[in-house]
Amino acid sequence: MPTSSATCTKRSFAPAAKLLVALVFLTLVNAAMSFAFEPYGSKSQLVWTDYTAQEQLDTVVVGSSVMQHALNPDVFDEAAGAVSYNMSTPMQTLIESFVGIRTAYEDHGITRAVLSLTPEVMNWTTDRPNPGSVFLTQRAKVVGPLEAAKTWSYVTFDKGGVTGPNSLNCFLPWVSNHTPAKPNRVLKNIKMKLDGTSMYKASEVNEPGWIYRGRGCGNRDSVLDYDSDEARTNFDRADISKVNVRSEAMLREIAAWCQERGIDLVAVGVPMPVYDVLGRFDQYCKLQDRIAAICSDAGVDYYDFNLVRPELMQIPPESFCDYAHLGNQGSIAFSQALGRLLVERDKGEDVRALFFSPDEYRASIGYISAVFVDVGSQADGVHVHARAFAGSQVKVSYQLCEKDGDGWREVATWQDSPDFVYAPASHGTCKLRVNVRVAGSSEPFEHYREFTAVY
């Protein structure tokens, strides 16, 4: 029997109908996953939502979480006579910083951009950008679909994101940006979205202790415990002395783009804990020399605030809230110092004189910042090597103790050498501690490191 044309038409549309149903289903599933897992009140959401409320800007600040903690626009503006916004976000790459600068220029015609250059930003070896990063997906929600598509095209095709493992993440935002996959955290996230919780309150729920200061800036009131394990979190990373070729190329592209539009691009190094600088001092100096050379060649002024002289900024140990970030008091001091620096720079003053040379910096540190230990077991006992981080003019004394009930028993008295060999009375596990202090000090100790050894 011949097949009717209506039957043929029906059969030809059947695969298309199935595909459409599948696409609708996947879209709904993706929307549900995004609603459940995308954190409400993420730092990028705060930055981009508050950015839309800015009526006037002449300065934008970009960078990673280090700069988001460090630059308080209210304090900076008072010192610099500026109208600024902090667009820095966690793990922000240089490509994303460039997008932030471009957005602020197109929206407000900014005349200055402050770019944070940390070791992480310059060392990151990610070969391809992530088109679905939280910075870009949150931006897409406020700039509109056309502008979002233009940026997606730039990141995907111009910068090679299409060949990277995250090339489809812009369609799956919850993959790059998700709350911990624990039932209580997911349910809490959903509840905050449904019950009218403000995104500012949600941000503090997501990260207890973190406080949003406004206009993109947020940090903590807490102080880093230099004797805790947290202090070593960022320390044992790979060699930081080299600049990734993609980072260098992106920095040069940002510089050229800003120069063409008359934007004063200023690059800065945000202060890090002293032990983090001294602990890899040779690598750190090589990195800073390379960054300074790139910036100089690109026509960009670069100021490393780790080397800042005290007449511009004091950086006491309590300036840091954790292993990498300035706390609120450190942020206020940095924001004031950067504002004053730019005012003097704009007057034509020699602001380079406000910074130490590396050797001057090392000599200026008159205290012990922290102590770490390397430990191993050999036939003759537990071998301990302590690494105390202090200025070049500071002589350090070391003491080794063993846990004894609720206290500590000295097993090696104060000595100049950072090396110990200790043979416990019996084989097994022992709890040890190295105390350090400046030689001649009457303090019981100034810093310590506790650790477990197996013998």
Residues 290 and 425 grouped into a single domain: no
Quick one: what percent of the chain has pLDDT higher than 90? 77
CA angle, 69 as apex, 65 and 75 as ends, to 5°?
A: 140
- Look at the chain and report how many structural domains it folds into: 2
pLDDT computed for residue 17 by the predictor: 79
At residue 13, does pLDDT exceed 70?
Answer: no
Asked whether residue 10 is assigned to any structural domain, the reply reads no
Residues 256 and 315 grouped into a single domain: yes
CATH of the domain at 377: 2.60.40.10
Asked whether residue 22 is assigned to any structural domain, the reply reads no
Residues 332 and 375 grouped into a single domain: no
41-68 average pLDDT score: 96
pLDDT computed for residue 237 by the predictor: 75
Asked whether residue 13 is assigned to any structural domain, the reply reads no
At residue 74, does pLDDT exceed 70?
Answer: yes
Asked whether residue 4 is assigned to any structural domain, the reply reads no
Which residues span the domain enclosing 426? 368-454
Residue-wise pLDDT tens digits, 215-252: 999 999 999 999 999 998 888 777 889 899 999 999 99
Whether this model's pTM surpasses 0.75: yes
Query: Last residue of a domain, which of 362, 387, 422?
Result: 362
Residues 203 and 282 grouped into a single domain: yes
Residue-wise pLDDT tens digits, 392-448: 999 999 999 999 999 999 999 999 999 999 999 888 999 999 999 999 999 999 999
Residues 53 and 81 grouped into a single domain: yes
Contact present, 209 and 328 (Cβ < 8 Å): no
Residues 390 and 245 grouped into a single domain: no
At residue 6, does pLDDT exceed 60?
Answer: no
Residues 293 and 405 grouped into a single domain: no
Residue-wise pLDDT tens digits, 262-287: 999 999 999 999 999 999 999 999 99
Q: From CA 62, how far away is CA 114, in angstroms rounded?
A: 6
Asked whether residue 2 is assigned to any structural domain, the reply reads no
Asked whether residue 94 is assigned to any structural domain, the reply reads yes
Query: Last residue of a domain, which of 362, 380, 404?
Result: 362
SS3 of the chain: the string is CCCCHHHHHHHHHHHHHHHHHHHHHHHHHHHHHHHHHCCCCCHHHHHHHHHCCCCCCCEEEECCHHHHHHCCHHHHHHHHCCCEEECCCCCCCHHHHHHHHHHHHHHHCCCEEEEECCHHHHHCCCCCCCCCCHHHHHHHHHHCHHHHHHHHHHHHHHCCHHHCCCCCCCCCHHHHCCCCCCHHHHHHHHHHHHCCCCHHHHHHHHCCCEEEEECCEEEECCCCCCCCHHHHCCCCCCCCCCCCHHHHHHHHHHHHHHHHCCCEEEEEECCCCHHHHHCCHHHHHHHHHHHHHHHHHHCCEEEEHHHECCCCCCCCHHHECCCCCECHHHHHHHHHHHHHHHHHHHCCCCHHHHECCHHHHHHHCCCEEEEEEEEEEECCEEEEEEEEEECCCCCEEEEEEEEECCEEEEEEEEECCCEEEECCCCCCEEEEEEEEEECCCCCCCCEEEEEEEEC
Asked whether residue 1 is assigned to any structural domain, the reply reads no
Residues 247 and 392 grouped into a single domain: no
Residues 59 and 90 grouped into a single domain: yes
Contact present, 454 and 429 (Cβ < 8 Å): yes
At residue 176, does pLDDT exceed 60?
Answer: yes
Residue-wise pLDDT tens digits, 338-370: 999 999 999 999 999 999 999 999 999 999 999
Query: Last residue of a domain, which of 362, 379, 400?
Result: 362
Asked whether residue 209 is assigned to any structural domain, the reply reads yes
Residues 92 and 192 grouped into a single domain: yes
Residues 216 and 278 grouped into a single domain: yes
Residues 198 and 311 grouped into a single domain: yes
